[in-house]
């Protein structure tokens, strides 16, 4: 698995390990925030609170101006010394069983946000707005996410499988966008039924399981930006080797490229648009 695809898969998997944070007192108006999650960073910039950030996670890419901030690790593997040097008055992480809340709390109050389902992300964005005094912008963003993703799908809609890259197409495992998550809701908001019905702790499957599911559409979301047409064609040709699948027989194969589409943040709205556009006749 390539480092970039592995990083994206780890980010998505970490969101599946949500837990309830302990009670912590947070500053009323923080002035120096460290974000340990790319989606949190993106959301803070979206609501106009980006100027409060003094540090970011190692995986941040969006918005581009976030790259000017010093990287200080991740929610699961924070760089304690680097964070302490920034003297934050608030640390924000996405929740997970492996987030070292006690250790981070010794540096500054640490907010661990639930960030898996659409309802959780919407509520967490509102909470960021409350804490940073950007309530109106946060409510607007939360409302737009909720409206875009809380869309019922017809019971007779086509099924779709959205794979994260194709590194496991040989003898490995394939990562996919599972139901019960922000990205899973993006699939249904685009008008499809997810080929996988039940949420699982780790959204992985074998090629054999993919063949059993036999989705109507097979979509690869590649995290590489600026993917060349020749590379896209290679990905499609790899999928065509699974010629027993209805999606292959009916040429319902698509590639969507861009790391931002895999972030569990505001960019997921763009993924809905991309899914709709890619699957139009």
**Per-residue model confidence as pLDDT tens digits over 56-113:** 999 998 899 999 999 999 999 999 999 999 999 999 998 866 789 899 999 999 999 9
- Note the pLDDT of residue 103: 94
- Note the pLDDT of residue 21: 42
pLDDT band at 169 (very low <50, low <70, confident <90, very high): confident
- Note the pLDDT of residue 265: 85
- Note the pLDDT of residue 96: 67
pLDDT band at 16 (very low <50, low <70, confident <90, very high): very low
Q: What is the mean pLDDT of residues 162-168?
A: 88
Question: For residue 53, is pLDDT > 70?
Answer: yes
- Note the pLDDT of residue 5: 54
**Nearest residue to 192 via CA among 277, 281, 116, 276:** 276
- Note the pLDDT of residue 6: 52
Question: For residue 168, is pLDDT > 80?
Answer: no
Q: How far apart are CA 84 and CA 235, in angstroms?
A: 44
Which range (23-32, 160-169, 194-203, 255-264) has the least confidence?
23-32
Instruction: State percent of the chain over pLDDT 90.
Output: 69
3-state helix, strand, coil in the chain (%, to 5): 40, 15, 45
- Note the pLDDT of residue 54: 98
Q: Do domains 3-149 and 159-278 have the same CATH topology?
A: yes
- Note the pLDDT of residue 236: 94
The mean of the pLDDT values for the chain is 88
pLDDT band at 148 (very low <50, low <70, confident <90, very high): very high
- Note the pLDDT of residue 27: 75
159-278 is classed in which CATH architecture?
3-Layer(aba) Sandwich (3.40)
Question: For residue 22, is pLDDT > 60?
Answer: no
Question: Which ranges constitute the DSSP H helices of the chain?
Answer: 3-15, 38-46, 80-85, 101-105, 118-132, 135-149, 182-189, 207-213, 229-240, 246-249, 268-278
pLDDT band at 23 (very low <50, low <70, confident <90, very high): very low
pTM for this model (two decimals): 0.83
More confident residue, 130 or 259: 130
Superfamily of domain 3-149: Nitrogenase molybdenum iron protein domain (3.40.50.1980)
- Note the pLDDT of residue 82: 97
Say if residues 130 and 185 touch (Cβ distance below 8 Å).
no
Say if residues 132 and 32 touch (Cβ distance below 8 Å).
no
């Amino acid at each position: 698995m390539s480092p970039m695809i592995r990083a994206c898969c780890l980010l998505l998997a970490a969101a599946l390990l949500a837990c309830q944070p302990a009670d912590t007192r947070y500053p009323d108006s923080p002035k120096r925030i460290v974000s340990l999650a790319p989606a949190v960073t993106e959301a803070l910039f979206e609501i106009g609170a980006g100027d409060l950030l003094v540090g970011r996670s190692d995986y941040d890419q969006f918005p581009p101006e976030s790259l000017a901030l010093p990287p200080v690790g991740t929610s699961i593997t924070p760089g304690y010394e680097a964070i302490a040097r920034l003297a934050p008055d608030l640390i924000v992480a996405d929740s997970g069983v492996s987030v070292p809340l006690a250790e981070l709390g010794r540096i500054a109050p640490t907010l661990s946000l639930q960030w898996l389902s659409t309802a959780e992300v919407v509520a967490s964005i509102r909470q960021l707005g409350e804490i940073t005094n950007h309530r109106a912008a946060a409510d607007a963003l939360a409302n737009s996410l909720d409206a875009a993703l809380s869309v019922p799908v017809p019971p007779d809609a086509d099924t779709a499988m959205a794979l994260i890259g194709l590194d496991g197409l040989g003898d490995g495992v394939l990562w996919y966008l599972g139901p019960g998550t922000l990205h899973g809701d993006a699939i249904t908001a685009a008008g499809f039924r997810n080929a996988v019905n039940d949420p699982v702790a780790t959204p992985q499957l074998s090629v054999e399981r993919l063949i059993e599911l036999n989705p109507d559409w097979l979509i690869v979301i590649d995290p590489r930006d600026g993917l060349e047409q020749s590379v896209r064609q290679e990905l499609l040709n790899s999928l065509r080797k699974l010629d027993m699948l209805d999606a292959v027989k009916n040429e319902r194969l698509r590639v969507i490229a861009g790391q931002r589409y895999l972030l569990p943040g505001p960019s997921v709205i763009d993924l809905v648009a991309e899914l709709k556009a890619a699957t139009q006749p």
